[in-house]
Structure 1
Amino acid sequence: MVHSPDFDDDEILPEYLFRNFEEMPPIEQAALKLCKGKVLDVGCGAGSHALYLQNSEKLEVKAIDTSPRAIEITKKRGIYSAACINFFELENEKFDSMLFLMNGSGIIGKLENIPRFFKKCREILKETGKILMDSSDLVYLFDEKPAEHPYYGELQFSLSYKGESSSTFDWLYIDEEMLKFYAAKNKFSCKIVKRGEHFDYLAQLKPL
């Protein structure tokens, strides 16, 4: 169960986290097809994206998540390289592609963290590398234009499952124009490569 002070509780079926490529939304499929070289899968969860890239695309993949149990599952599913580590703590590695899926912008938390996010990306992304990240514009939830402060895409969530609960965490949904603004400000290009049917989109970002 997904809990938020701003919305009713939502349910994620466990099998959704173990889906294969054919069961994934078109935006996720497009992102996986754009991956090249050495790939970092950030917030890998049960490892479905990494598993496809490793086994079907024959790419070198490192899957990371802050959940020890998620990493345990990815290893049991056959991911060769998986680590329980925060994205912002990665060091001494370089990647050709970095994957942030399932509203991957969420790990940024708040708009104020975006400079730190791009700084870390620049540190571990090869000069010719790319970031593939999806998000959603939550403007559709409002009857009138939301106030600028706080930004309407800054939310808080917690998770619960079979009597266990997570702590509350920040999660950022960012609209296309806001992402393009901050990308340019931090010297990254931003191209929208695919849009979904529900205000969601896939962005490709490259260092300038």
Structure 2
Amino acid sequence: MGSDIFGAAMLDYLNKTYTEDIVTLSTISEEDTIPVPYLFRDYAAMPLLEQKALDLSKGKVLDIGCGAGSHSLYLQGKSIDVTALDASKGAIEACKQRGVDKTIHSTILEYNAATYDTLLLLMNGIGIVGSLNNLAEYLLHLKSLLKPNGQLLLDSSDIIYMFDEDEDGGYWIPPGKDYYGEVDFTMQYKGQKSDSFPWLYLDYNTLQRAAILNGFNCELIVEGEHYDYLAKLTLITQ
């Protein structure tokens, strides 16, 4: 299984050997689970933010961190030219088994083969950045993958609500992190445990500032019910 927890779980589900869910452990919350069947949901079962992002998708689309390919399959069914990209070998195999026509097994920073009208980073896909210090590098790379009139659609969450509030209205943030949205995760599945990996949750104002500094316009499209939001980034033109 190695560290490809998601890939192993998705392939088990497709091969009808699914018996348990993915367990997550993080530096900000107690043990939680990711139900494997949820990774295979259809459009009707997706949150509003994801539905809106898919509705806005147009032209040639790159689905970054595609997982089991649920977003790609929906767009493909709408005759949209979509490519599913994931660093998980198992995820890409799951996409192929489900009928996704175009797939790429790669990290996003290592991929530069084409440009797109729409880049999708859903299910807090921007989390792959890991830390706030890496955000500029990722935004500049994503910028290079966009056509002149292209768009980057991403959702994330402001997790400040998870921290204790002080009497003066501030928040107590654990030491060791430059930004409160930086979280370390490990995952467990069928007795195997992944290495710890960093994940980033971005509040909208921080995203907007970083976007502008790196040549993007940033628009808040819709807010979810639990501190989450969907944003659209487009290239600033002179």
Per the alignment, residue 201 of structure 1 pairs with: 229
**Equivalent-residue separation in structure 1 for 2:56 and 2:211 (angstroms):** 19
User: C-alpha displacement at 1:127, in angstroms?
Assistant: 0.9
Query: What RMSD in Å do the two structures reach over aligned CA positions?
Result: 1.3
Aligned-residue identity in percent: 44
**Equivalent-residue separation in structure 2 for 1:4 and 1:142 (angstroms):** 14
User: C-alpha displacement at 1:6, in angstroms?
Assistant: 2.7
Per the alignment, residue 40 of structure 2 pairs with: 18
Contact 2:60 2:118 in 1 (8 A): yes
State the aligned residue count: 207
User: C-alpha displacement at 1:143, in angstroms?
Assistant: 2.6
1:34 corresponds to which letter in structure 2?
Answer: L
**Equivalent-residue separation in structure 1 for 2:194 and 2:92 (angstroms):** 16
TM-score after normalising by structure 1: 0.96
The reply on whether 1:176 has 2:204 as its aligned counterpart is: yes
Contact 2:156 2:228 in 1 (8 A): yes
**Unmatched segments (≥5 aa) in structure 2:** 1-22
1:7 corresponds to which letter in structure 2?
Answer: S
2:150 corresponds to which letter in structure 1?
Answer: G
The reply on whether 1:53 has 2:75 as its aligned counterpart is: yes
**Unmatched segments (≥5 aa) in structure 1:** none
The 5 Å alignment of 1:1-208 reads 1-55=23-77, 57-144=78-165, 145-146=170-171, 147=173, 150-208=178-236
1:113 corresponds to which letter in structure 2?
Answer: N
**Equivalent-residue separation in structure 1 for 2:27 and 2:46 (angstroms):** 28
User: C-alpha displacement at 1:122, in angstroms?
Assistant: 1.5
Higher alpha-carbon deviation: 37-46 or 140-149: 140-149
Larger Cα Rg: Structure 1 or Structure 2?
Answer: 2
TM-score after normalising by structure 2: 0.84
Per the alignment, residue 12 of structure 2 pairs with: none
User: C-alpha displacement at 1:66, in angstroms?
Assistant: 0.9
User: C-alpha displacement at 1:162, in angstroms?
Assistant: 1.0
Q: Where do 4+ consecutive residues of structure 1 move more than 3 Å?
A: 146-149
**Equivalent-residue separation in structure 1 for 2:88 and 2:125 (angstroms):** 16
Higher alpha-carbon deviation: 139-148 or 169-178: 139-148
**Equivalent-residue separation in structure 2 for 1:5 and 1:154 (angstroms):** 9
Q: What SS class does the counterpart of residue 7 from structure 1 fall into?
A: coil
